[in-house]
Amino acid sequence: MALWSGRFAGDTHGLVGKFSASLGYDRRLYPYDIQGSIAHARMLGATGIIPPADAAALVKALGEVRAALDRGEFPFDERLEDIHMSIEAALIRKLGEAGARLHTGRSRNDQVATDERLLLRAEADALTGRLVGLQQSLVRQAAAHTRTILPGFTHLQHAQPVVFGHHLLAYVEMLERDKGRLADCRHRLNVCPLGSGALAGSTLPLDRERVAAELEFDGVTRNSMDAVADRDHLVEFLAALALIAMHTSRLAEDCVLWMSPEFGFVEFDDAFCTGSSLMPQKKNPDVAELTRGKAGRVYGSLIGLLTVLKGLPLTYNRDLQEDKEGLFDAIDTVAAVLDVLAPMMDSATVRVERMRAAAADPGLMATDLAEWLVGQGVAFRDAHHQVGRFVGDCVRRGIGLDLATLAQMREHIPLATEECLKLFSPERSVAARDLPGGTAPAQVERQVAFWQKRLA
């Protein structure tokens, strides 16, 4: 059909209709389209642009359409290309001429721009709640393991002893920054484009501020051309989702490593693992692996939208229709990841003794020895060099640092005393790092208390 236009003599080609239709996915916008339409109708009636009786009828009918959509009983017509036209057509069927008045003073350009901002506000709030849920799960595990010691890694090599709770709280910090990014994005997007029209505003006396206030926006957009062409908020939102996906992927990678036989630090409940189609003994961390993999999908949505936007002239271009599928998929993907990771982390059984055994290598306390020398007035670079020579000597002798005699230590570290021989304890090592941000159990307990209060 020639959609809503008297300009065209014939119907749209069937293939073009299918090619350009977005109803299959943009129907997800219906709650926000109706929310914006109700505010717009009330404004049109209050300003006298349309008869107040028609405005009241529109508000009532929009409520009925919303109810039918909520129940899954809305009669979609696939010849109508998007959710906006579907809702408007339903109003015209219900109200006749009054239904045709709803689109007064607006374009689909400012309409969809408004719908998307309303959607992102709601999704930012929902995702923030999911982030809190995963944080709470990590904090619960951290609270149970403020004194559980395992090796910390750099370059995937054993580095220094740390407390397991400290390791988990690192991810809580990442997720807190993710919440902040969503909040920042929400703040910037919370201005109302309605009234911008197709690109130039309207000759009608629209009360844009009234609509913005009813929709709980902080204000109205200042430039009608920017308002309909802008998709920065979608890019920013997808960038925030990409960072969440990256953080959860890193957590998932730690989980995969911890569950491997080589580490054996953690086991997750059977409910979050799968078997092999061939090998009966296998227990695979598939949830963690899928979490890693799904990060790529989210990145793809971000790059896809950036690519769509990079060459578009002002103002609206139909390319912008491609802003939705990737966005919706990224939102759903991140939501699913956050939903499943929280109970998976709650299900973890921590192999405390296996962790402690892996952290017992005295080489992990070599830095403690160097810092002991610093306390004796030795410049750190000199201390580092002396301890490095001592470590190399122990490697050549085939003995652990804790098995060297004081005389052997003094061959490389002249200031060494009996106290140095006592430094090779993981418990002593973590306890000594008792400063803000450190891995000392006392510090981790303070951090756990902080997060329990913050996330309550």
Asked if residue 275 lies in contact with residue 205, where contact means CB atoms within 8 angstroms, the answer is: no
Q: Which two tokens stand for residue 363?
A: 């080489």
260 part of the active site: no
Q: Which two tokens stand for residue 307?
A: 């690519």
Catalytic residue among 276, 384, 425, 429: 276
- Distance from the Cα of residue 303 to its chain's centroid: 16
Instruction: State how far the Cα of 239 lies from the Cα of 236, in Å rounded to an integer.
Output: 5
Q: Judging by beta carbons within 10 Å of its beta carbon (0-12, 13-18, 19+), is residue 355 exposed, middle or buried?
A: buried
Strand, coil or helix: what is 37? Answer: helix
Asked if residue 139 lies in contact with residue 197, where contact means CB atoms within 8 angstroms, the answer is: no
Catalytic residue among 84, 155, 187, 196: 155
276 part of the active site: yes
Instruction: State how far the Cα of 207 lies from the Cα of 47, in Å rounded to an integer.
Output: 7
Instruction: State how far the Cα of 393 lies from the Cα of 408, in Å rounded to an integer.
Output: 9
- Count the Cβ atoms, other than its own, within 10 Å of residue 18: 12
Q: Cβ contacts of residue 65 below 8 Å, gap of 6+? A: 34, 74, 87, 90, 91, 94
Instruction: State how far the Cα of 286 lies from the Cα of 88, in Å rounded to an integer.
Output: 45
Catalytic (active-site) positions: 155, 276
